[in-house]
Amino acid sequence: MRILRTLGAAVALAALPALVPDLSPVAHAAELKVATVDFQRALNEVTEGEAVRNKLEGMYAQKKKAIQQMENELTKRQQELQSQAMVLSKEALATKQQELQQMAMTYQQTFQESDQEMQMAYGQAMEGLITKMRTISEEISKERGYQLVLEVTEGGPAPLS
């Protein structure tokens, strides 16, 4: 219900005269009712948007912590290898270097997978909220008789599709 009230508050009302002068006199008398909606503002103000942000931030913190632990272990092993390099046999040194390379590859792969997971989670969460807000804005526009609803973006209003 809060999302409905916030979207209602975010919808700016504007009545514009008919834009095409060559139409019949009836068309000249008609007005085009236009509304704008700021989904970014609504996302920042509704409870559901905050809950999604908190969930994503928690997920990010968890992944960041795991990656940081892997990075610390990798650094520790590199330092150990450097300090032991002179006393290890060639075979033992090669084995440790191979283990270190494998660990570095695992770290890189985990980092990339975590980044992709975060992007997907963000995209899915935002898509769900935007879809819900679009439905609500369409309902409000029908109730109030708007013929055109524009989404406010950084570059200015854009048609809501």
Nearest to 6 by CA among 153, 156, 129: 129
User: What are 4-45's pLDDT values in tens digits?
Assistant: 444 443 443 332 233 333 333 444 446 788 888 888 888 888
Helix, strand or coil, per DSSP, at residue 3: helix
Domain range for residue 107?
A: 2-159
For the whole model, what pTM was predicted? 0.61
3-state secondary structure 118-147: HHHHHHHHHHHHHHHHHHHHHHHHHHHCCC
Q: How many domains does the chain have?
A: 1
